[in-house]
């Protein structure tokens, strides 16, 4: 199906961690639902602006909590592997989004149904990330526990800046969204879709076509970009907790960026302005999107999303 088949421009929107759980909050259901409600209220503005919307989101704190629950209850209920824990967070966050979005749309008199797709994302067995696990997940352990886990389960654990030992898993690149046709069909039929939550569930496909779940974590910004390309989205928007990407971030000579060409942005990235674990992957995925033929790539905050789509806020990377 080609892009011409949807009447409205299609935006893939990646929601940052703050949209669901804010630093310092405990993570109660009430806190998360209220945060999601605020995020959905803002996203209805994007729908009013005339866009079809696919939402993707992070799951760091949620999957961390599920891993901890698994660990604490391991003597009573068998612990689940990481891919299955990831699927649990897609369902739980998808539910919060579906419910909040339905309520926010009803307030504005917009008729639209929302569906969450449990999403598998193909990764390559040759991805160099598998030789060097870097992504910390789950609870902290004492050194002795950590050594036992490495021996018993074959996990990789690393000492984390004096806070204890923590499991690290590979963070491979997304290659393809397995459910892309389902997602496209739903969008073309007028549904709002939540997909690829937590960066998607990493899977590998062997020569016979068999799909296997992988214990790894795909960066949600990279997965969002892969999704945006796979569904032929017009716009890829990353919503986080800063309105603009900055040069010299946090320093007295900080410069906030508005419209930037792809070449300029690549140059700034090479100069090291964007941190690896936070702004780095956002800028890199926006660059990939525009490089691969995407029309518009925006990074901004939730409250500025609508203005940014009109060209009046945020940081936008343009081809030329």
**Catalytic residue annotation:** 17-18, 135, 220, 282
Query: Any contact of residue 21 with ligand ADP (CB under 6 A)?
Result: no
3-state class of 297 per DSSP? Answer: strand
> Between 29-48 and 82-107, two packed helices, what is the crossing angle to 10 degrees?
60
> In whole angstroms, what is the distance from residue 233 CA to residue 56 CA?
13
| Number of residues counted as binding ligand ADP (CB under 6 A) | 15
CB of 166: closest distance to ligand ADP in angstroms?
18
Give the H/E segment covering residue 92.
helix 82-107
Question: In whole angstroms, how close is the CB of 278 to ligand ADP at the nearest point?
Answer: 3
| Structure token digits, residue 70 | 């698994």
**Residues whose CB is less than 8 angstroms from the CB of residue 50 and which lie 6 or more positions away in sequence, other chains included:** 8, 9
Closest CB to ligand ADP among 176 and 278? 278
b/e burial code for range 258-274 (CB count within 10 A of at least 16 → b)? eebebeebbebbeeebb
Contact (CB, 8 A) for 8 and 50: yes
We find the least distance from the C-beta atom of residue 315 to ligand ADP, in angstroms, to be 8
C-alpha distances in angstroms, 275 versus 235, 248, 278?
24, 11, 6
- Encoded one letter per residue, x for contact with ligand ADP by CB under 6 A and - for no contact, window 223-262 reads -----------------xxx--xx--x-------------
Structural contact between residues 128 and 99, judged by C-beta atoms closer than 8 angstroms: no
Q: Which of 12, 58, 296, 301 binds ligand ADP (CB under 6 A)?
A: 58
- The residue from 10, 11, 13, 16 that contacts ligand ADP (CB under 6 A) is 16
For ligand ADP, the binding residue among 142, 153, 158, 275 (CB under 6 A) is 275
For residue 43, state whether it binds ligand ADP (rule: CB under 6 A): no
* 278 touches ligand ADP by CB under 6 A: yes
Measured from the CB atom, the residue of 35 and 70 that comes closer to ligand ADP is 35
Angstrom distance (rounded) from CA 209 to CA 72: 36
Instruction: Tell me which stretch binds ligand ADP (CB under 6 A): 14-22, 65-73, 87-95, 197-205.
Output: 14-22
Tokens for 121?
Answer: 């994302």
Binding positions for ligand ADP, rule: CB under 6 A: 16-18, 58, 240-242, 245-246, 249, 273-275, 278-279
């Amino acid at each position: 199906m080609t892009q011409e088949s949807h009447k409205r421009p299609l935006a893939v929107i990646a929601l940052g961690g703050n949209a669901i759980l804010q630093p310092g909050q405990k993570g109660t259901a009430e806190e998360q639902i209220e945060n999601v409600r605020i995020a959905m209220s803002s996203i209805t503005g994007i729908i009013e602006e005339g866009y079809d919307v696919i939402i993707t989101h992070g799951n760091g704190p949620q999957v961390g909590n599920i891993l901890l629950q698994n660990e604490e209850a391991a003597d009573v209920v068998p612990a689940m592997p990481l891919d299955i824990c990831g699927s649990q967070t897609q369902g739980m966050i998808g539910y919060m989004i579906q419910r909040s979005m339905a309520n926010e749309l009803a307030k504005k008199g917009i008729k639209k149904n929302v569906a969450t797709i449990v999403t598998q994302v193909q990764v390559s067995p040759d991805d160099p990330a598998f030789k060097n696990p870097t992504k910390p997940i789950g609870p902290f352990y004492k050194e002795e526990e950590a050594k036992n886990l490495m021996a018993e389960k074959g996990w990789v654990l690393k000492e984390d800046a004096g806070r204890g030992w923590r499991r690290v898993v590979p963070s491979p690149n997304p290659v393809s969204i397995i459910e892309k046709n389902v997602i496209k069909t739903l969008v073309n039929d007028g549904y709002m879709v939540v997909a690829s939550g937590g960066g998607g569930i990493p899977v590998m496909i062997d020569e016979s076509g068999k799909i296997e779940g992988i214990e790894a974590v795909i960066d949600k910004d990279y997965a969002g970009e892969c999704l945006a390309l796979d569904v032929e989205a017009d716009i890829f928007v990353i919503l986080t907790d800063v309105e603009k990407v900055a040069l010299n971030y946090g320093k007295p000579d900080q410069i906030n960026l508005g419209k930037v060409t792809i070449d300029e942005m690549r140059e700034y990235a090479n100069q090291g302005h964007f941190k690896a674990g936070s702004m780095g992957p956002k800028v890199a995925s926006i660059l990939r999107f525009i490089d691969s033929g995407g029309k518009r790539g925006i990074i901004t905050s939730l409250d500025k999303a609508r203005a940014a789509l009109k060209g009046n806020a945020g940081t936008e990377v343009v081809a030329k």
